[in-house]
Amino acid sequence: MSVTIYHNPRCGKSRGALELLRARGLEPRVVDYLKTPPSAAELEHILSLLGLEPRALIRKGEAAYKEAGLDNPDLDRAALLAAMAAHPILIERPIVLANGKAALGRPPENILGIL
């Protein structure tokens, strides 16, 4: 099984999800998304797998959220995706992809349903 985790090593939930994967004998492809951010197209794909809209995957407490004016309700999907790609700190984490599905690991146990 091919598993990918969009991971932030400084995040406890992200570390917990990675530990859960490894405890099940899986060695995922680990993408440090702050160093290698997903493109807007990749984010679109992830959102479609998650069944979420962009705002549901944006971390609203980050300074970059207000600095980029993302609280503007008139921003369209493309603008939100572009902002997330440009400022990956805004992307909620961790995100795990496996078996053609995706899960947001908040809490980390959420990922178990796609394995």
Catalytic residues: 11
According to DSSP, residue 57 is labeled: G
